Structure 1
């Protein structure tokens, strides 16, 4: 998690997938990372897996 919070993955154009059991705050954490990236002036895309599949079709 420390690596994600540095936002280095954004600069490296790496995708991240958060996988843990339900109710552990994945969406909350991803949203917080997205907000942090926006504040840092970075462009981001936050998308659910179901919407990603639709977009990729």
Structure 2
């Protein structure tokens, strides 16, 4: 029961933050990107944002 709740919460967070960000980045494309492509694009985007924030904070 707890594992199912944790899994559902993680899936919701991945969908809300990573996949939705990736779809937004590919929003100019004619067709909707595959979920894997959208998720990887979201991961790369947030990784780059994290690097910029890290670089700005640790100057």
TM-score (structure 1 length as normaliser): 0.35
- Bigger CA radius of gyration: 2
Higher RCO (CA < 8 A, seq sep 6+): 2
Q: Greater helix percent: which structure?
A: 2
